[in-house]
Structure 1
Amino acid sequence: MARIKPQALLNQSKKKKGPSRISISTIIVCNLVVAVVILSLVTTYRHWSQRSRNKIEPETQSQRFEDTNAASEQKSFDLPGYADITTSKGLITVELFKEGSPEAVDKFLDLCQKDHFKGMPFHRVIKNYLVQAGHSQSSIPVDEWTSKGKLRGRLHTSPKHEAFMLGTPKTKGNDKDFELLITTAPIPDLNDQLIVFGRVLKGEDVVQEIEEVDTDEHYQPKSPIGIVSVILKREI
């Protein structure tokens, strides 16, 4: 058997232990594969994240809409629906049309909080027609009220035009222009000038007593008569 020299054994050992070389093309291919995998994962994540967001947003918007409606209904429910109007002739209890005339009712409630109606005089009383209270004279001429009143029997009436309805003339002025008016007969012909926002529940006899006071030629009471206070109520 041939004897191997020590130097040859050393060279042979170095060849066995040395790492094998990896070609540049192999490295490039591996990097490309890794990049493709990472890109695929990112794309998949964005896709499912967008789908999840689109699914949640309509539900959130719908919930907000429902919450807004619920808050609006709750606010309307919490508002007082009745008022006790104490006059120098007695007490008149009215129901407010919160849904039928929300703007007029909101204005009425706001003015009640400011004691706007306290001490307000009845400055116009027309028998078999209406009684009206206010701090200033109405912009509607008296002859227009009375001339229209002569035609009321010929026109169609609806519940909002019945007697003992609570309303206010249509105006665009300041708070002083907001007056209270109670009809004492059906008035179907003032729909373009009158906002009806309530009706008398109790105290019709008091309204009739106000209606019977003596007035001058301008339909103004000869003796002072007015509103003492207005108290808002949620129940009667």
Structure 2
Amino acid sequence: MKVAEIHTNKGVLKLKFFEKDAPKTVQNFISLAEKGFYNGLIFHRVIPNFMIQGGCPNGIGNGGPGYKIDCELTGDNQYHDRGVISMAHAGRNTGGSQFFICHTRDTTKHLDRNHTLFGKVYEGLDVIDAIRQGDVMNKVVILDEA
């Protein structure tokens, strides 16, 4: 199984993937990360007590990798809890590279089964709270789980 480290200017987020629930979304994220797509991109949208969002190559929320992926909404882990990473989109089946990480369950329940959850931060939850709009993803590293 693979894990990811998102290295930011505020610290490192370590996440495990929900490969069983969202295999295509996980593979898409891994593929983009291994190509260096996310390196140097910013968190372009940050809403306190809600989420942090990144993955737009234009830095303003209107870009992607040049293709769209389908939503995967039938897995067991489709609950937007604190630390969950989920695919952002502009409507069903329009995701690509943008993702968001949730701050709290209290404000994200309406996203359940509307956005594909594909992993969860297991280390670095404090980094989520420290991220501000414009902060940088220095690199995303994919590793084999130890």
Q: Same fold (TM over 0.5)?
A: yes
* Structure 1 vs Structure 2 CA RMSD: 2.1
Match of 1:182 in 2: 101
The TM-score, its normalising length taken from structure 2, stands at 0.77
Of the three residues 46, 68, 81, the one matched with 1:162 is 81
Q: Give the structure with the higher percent helix.
A: 1
State the shift of 1:120 in Å.
1.2
Runs (4+) of structure 1 exceeding 6 A deviation are: none
State the shift of 1:127 in Å.
0.6
Aligned length: 126
State the shift of 1:173 in Å.
5.3
Separation (CA, whole Å) in 2 of partners of 1:161 and 1:113: 26
The TM-score, its normalising length taken from structure 1, stands at 0.49
Q: Which runs of 5+ in 1 are unaligned?
A: 1-79, 140-157, 214-220
Separation (CA, whole Å) in 1 of partners of 2:83 and 2:136: 17
Match of 1:115 in 2: 36
Match of 2:138 in 1: 228
Q: Give the structure with the higher percent strand.
A: 2
Separation (CA, whole Å) in 2 of partners of 1:102 and 1:159: 13
Check the 8 A contact 2:45/2:61 in 1, yes or no.
Answer: no
Separation (CA, whole Å) in 2 of partners of 1:183 and 1:83: 17
Q: Point out the structure with max Rg over C-alpha.
A: 1
Check the 8 A contact 1:133/1:226 in 2, yes or no.
Answer: no
State the shift of 1:192 in Å.
4.9
Q: Select the structure with the greater relative contact order (CA < 8 A; seq sep ≥ 6).
A: 2
